[in-house]
Amino acid sequence: MSELEVVTVGSDVFLCRGRDANWVILREGTDLTLVDAGYPAYAPIVEESVRRIGGRPEDVRGIVVTHGHVDHIGGLAHFHGRYGTPVFAHPMEVPHVRRERLEQATPVQVARNAHRSGVLTWSLRITRAGALRDVAFADVQPLTPGSPLDLPGRPVPVATAGHTSGHTAYLVPSAGAVATGDGLCTGHATSPTVGPQLLPRMFQHGDDAAGLTPLEDLDADVVLPGHGPVHRGPIGEAVRAARESAAARKW
């Protein structure tokens, strides 16, 4: 795929795909919300994605974080430092974003799996994207799960702990869509398949399958994953497919 693909999901919901990580834009009038912010080196294409939908980076009223992995928070410092954009995360994920603790695959873990298909080329590519940089971000604010946020698109945080301790999905009721972060993906450079799935075990901090349970009864039929393409269909069916894929997974 190209370095940037912007997929219109609804009139005001967009899935943006970099080479190795996704983010989501929600629009309400001229105001915008970002869900995640890519790798550190993605900052220019995150800005470009905003411009492609007719917005400006300074129109982003807030960034909500699914979880504190480098490929999802790498652009926080850029947006906050340049535009003063506020950043929000689940209270359990705030210490992770601040790097008071780390729940992320280590270089040693990645090296141990370098023999697996796709891992070596992916690891070299994400290193160039800033995967080894210090992305600690101190100014993140805790949000309240379960209630619509006072941000464009009115996303509703849904706690999906498993991939990380405070992993959070964001339901967009007006679009019947849910940004699932890494709790439910549809593809990855290290995966041989496309479709609802969990990431390989080296990426999981806790019980990855547990994070699927809060998703299965949501009123949504569009999955906006942290990795992979848009998936359309009832979220419950996507969850079942991901569980089946995980049961057959070899690593």
Residue 1: is its pLDDT beyond 60? no
Nearest-angstrom CA–CA distance, 61 and 122: 32
Average pLDDT on 4-9 reads 97
Which two three-digit tokens encode residue 89?
């995360």
Query: What per-residue confidence (pLDDT) applies to 2?
Result: 63
Query: What per-residue confidence (pLDDT) applies to 251?
Result: 65
| pTM of this structure | 0.95
Residue 105: is its pLDDT beyond 90? no
Residues 6+ apart with CB under 8 A from 15: 6, 7, 9, 22, 24, 224, 229, 230
The pair phi, psi for residue 110, each rounded to 5°, is: -65, -45
Query: What per-residue confidence (pLDDT) applies to 65?
Result: 98
Nearest-angstrom CA–CA distance, 34 and 197: 23
Alpha helices in the chain (DSSP H): 43-52, 70-73, 76-83, 94-97, 107-112, 119-128, 235-248
Contact, 160 vs 153, CB < 8 A? Answer: no
Position 133, amino acid: R
Query: What per-residue confidence (pLDDT) applies to 12?
Result: 97
Angle at 140 between CA 93 and CA 179, to 5 degrees: 60
Query: What per-residue confidence (pLDDT) applies to 145?
Result: 92
Q: With CA atoms as reference, report the closest residue to 205 among 151, 160, 139.
A: 160
Which two three-digit tokens encode residue 152?
């464009």
For residue range 165-197, what is the model confidence (pLDDT) as tens digits?
A: 999 999 999 999 999 999 999 999 999 899 999
Side-chain half-sphere of 77: how many Cα atoms within 13 Å? 14
For residue range 201-216, what is the model confidence (pLDDT) as tens digits?
A: 777 777 778 899 999 9
Contact, 189 vs 148, CB < 8 A? Answer: no
**Percent of the chain's residues with pLDDT above 70:** 98
Average pLDDT on 67-87 reads 98
Which two three-digit tokens encode residue 33?
């919300």
Average pLDDT on 49-68 reads 98
